[in-house]
Structure 1
């Protein structure tokens, strides 16, 4: 299949991602959050990660940018580091009361933006889009040799 490069899934997904980032950034800024911080905050809230290494793996970013993000989040009063009771050389990262209080509003803003973006989609189309994107991400992770974050659904279709 010979597609115009501007009609390829990679290009279209990139455009959609940029649109979501712009929308989310504008709506999250008044709440004191950045778009890239939300996966970290959610992972800390639900216990999926509590160390810098685990957060970097979960958010699929390298350690140095994660360290910079965490330093900004700590400076902004969103997270705090506490000594790891098991490994004194390491620290556990937790949400502050401020972040815990603001996070529900931030998540509601993101969910509302997603709902608005899918306005002309049926429930079945939205579910299918999510399933297809989840499979695509798993395929891309596999190609890149990236370990999927815990809790990510794995599909063996198309292998």
Structure 2
């Protein structure tokens, strides 16, 4: 009997084993939409797995993968305001506020008043985080090596360039719709 009795017209079912298989229900009939995962499904799966592996590798440093955009920005230029960090990371203000709160709680960053405007806060890395940056960078590099291990050196460069192009095309499509 399977899952058919529990479905209603118009519902979409995505089954996951080693890959995604999508079904669409129309007039109580189950239609298979695709055998292969879509680009979005594949990228989403890879991103989730990469994030999970990054979280495992960064845990010994008291970090999570969500901290990396902030850590990277502050290593390049500090102090930075919450607004500047939000723009760098390309995430929403409430998400950045929550991330900064967790990072501050975990002793990764410090909040400091701006010398010219005490109402404005800027963020810097703690000395403890600074001491670990070389080891953190090594862990991130090892993660990249492991994730790209199936690819040759030439294919890694091509893949990075193609992924950059895809991200740029998606950003452009969103910008055309007024959604940065």
Shorter-chain TM-score tier: 0.7 to 0.9
Task: Please tell me whether the aligned partners of residues 79 and 95 of structure 1 are also in contact (alpha carbons under 8 angstroms).
Answer: yes
Distance across 2 between alignment mates of 1:63 and 1:39: 14
Match of 1:27 among 35, 38, 57: 57
Match of 1:7 among 15, 29, 37: 37
The alignment status of 1:112 with 2:142, answered yes or no, reads: yes
Task: Please tell me whether the aligned partners of residues 43 and 49 of structure 1 are also in contact (alpha carbons under 8 angstroms).
Answer: no
Displacement after TM superposition at 1:6 (Å): 4.1
The alignment status of 1:122 with 2:174, answered yes or no, reads: no
Task: Please tell me whether the aligned partners of residues 49 and 55 of structure 1 are also in contact (alpha carbons under 8 angstroms).
Answer: no
Any stretches of 5+ residues in structure 1 without a counterpart? 148-159
Greater per-residue strand proportion: 2
Q: Residue 120 of structure 1: SS of its match in structure 2?
A: coil
Task: Please tell me whether the aligned partners of residues 86 and 93 of structure 2 are also in contact (alpha carbons under 8 angstroms).
Answer: yes
Distance across 2 between alignment mates of 1:27 and 1:88: 37
In terms of Rg, which structure is larger? 2
Q: TM-score, normalised by structure 1?
A: 0.83
Q: Residue 134 of structure 1: SS of its match in structure 2?
A: helix
Match of 1:102 among 132, 142, 145: 132
CA RMSD of the aligned region, Å?
1.9
Distance across 2 between alignment mates of 1:108 and 1:122: 20
Equivalence for 1:57:
87
Displacement after TM superposition at 1:5 (Å): 7.0
- C-alpha spacing 1:54/1:6, structure 2 compared with 1 (3 Å): farther
Q: Residue 42 of structure 1: SS of its match in structure 2?
A: helix
The alignment status of 1:82 with 2:112, answered yes or no, reads: yes
Distance across 2 between alignment mates of 1:5 and 1:47: 47
Task: Please tell me whether the aligned partners of residues 81 and 123 of structure 2 are also in contact (alpha carbons under 8 angstroms).
Answer: yes
- C-alpha spacing 1:96/1:48, structure 2 compared with 1 (3 Å): closer
Distance across 1 between alignment mates of 2:54 and 2:126: 22
